[in-house]
Structure 1
């Protein structure tokens, strides 16, 4: 598997090529039992992951830091093209999934309001898949806030999950 590639364009963009068929990468990205294994940066856990994976559906995730601090995120799915594309809106949430002000959890600024995350799954042939995540925050802001580093760490965890799915196949 290739290292994470980071695109320095306006929006945070991270790309990784996996030695796995697109269906397995999609499964790792969308199935709650696998998402719980990678949601959050290195050393974080995901004790809660509920996904209603359909257009208009919502997801609720809890990311728990090594010191026990919980951070909740909600996602609303805007567009789903099976095995190709997911467009979603991520936001800070409370434990019930209600949108909250990021200042309530210690963030000074919110990502661009109503800017969507886009996740692309590209079949490269020969059992390889390119996963591209285009975040809702400008690259400069993502680097300064730590979001970029967090997503790089998440992609490492996704790679471990995908590798496990390949081995199990």
Structure 2
């Protein structure tokens, strides 16, 4: 089940319920071995995924399009509550993790001043977990931007990773 919306402050809220314990969903979300399997929409790959998920830590991820273009993102972590919450800021970067102005790449990206990305991992009981991701982007028309479609495709890939982890347990 997926419930994706943009609230009154124009922040995208992405949710999905997984049939797996919170610890497994957290592992799929934070372990580079698994993030490489889902980072990016359908058809995209993640050839580089370096993650240091701790307060003050930084991650560097590469998303490769089907036609071979490599886009880089860096994530800085501001708050971590194990298995429950990640507060971070993600930005477009070069391959070294240096911040790049999205306009330099012809990308419209309007971050809400002072807002961070927040991901909450809610234990629903009965072995189910609902992560909720609240982005820091201001988006006038998320459907036109492809953000919702991209996130839905990403969550399908996350679901496959989580299902694999749940079967292996």
**TM-score, normalised via structure 2 length:** 0.93
| Mapped contact 1:77–1:89 kept (Cα < 8 A) | yes
RMSD: 1.3
Shift of 1:147: 1.9
- For residues 114 and 80 of structure 1, the distance between their equivalents in structure 2, rounded to whole angstroms, comes to 18
Quote the residue 2:31 is aligned against. Answer: 31
Unaligned runs of 5+ in 1: none
User: For residue 69 of structure 1, what is the aligned residue in structure 2?
Assistant: 69
Deviation at 1:11, TM superposition (A): 1.1
Name the counterpart of 1:153: 153
Which residue of structure 2 lines up, in the alignment, with residue 11 of structure 1?
11
Q: Deviations over 1:110-169 (max 9, x none)?
A: 333442111010001110001111111235343332222211111111001000101111
Aligned length: 167
1:72-121 alpha-carbon deviations (Å, 9 max, x no partner): 00000010000100000000000000001102222034333442111010
Instruction: Supply the distance in 2 between the matched residues of 1:136 and 1:23 (Cα, whole angstroms).
Output: 25
Tell me which moved more, 95-104 or 62-71: 95-104
Report the counterpart of residue 98 of structure 1 in structure 2.
98
Give the 3 Å change call, closer, same or farther, for CA 117–102 of structure 1 in structure 2: same
Paired residue for 2:133?
Answer: 133
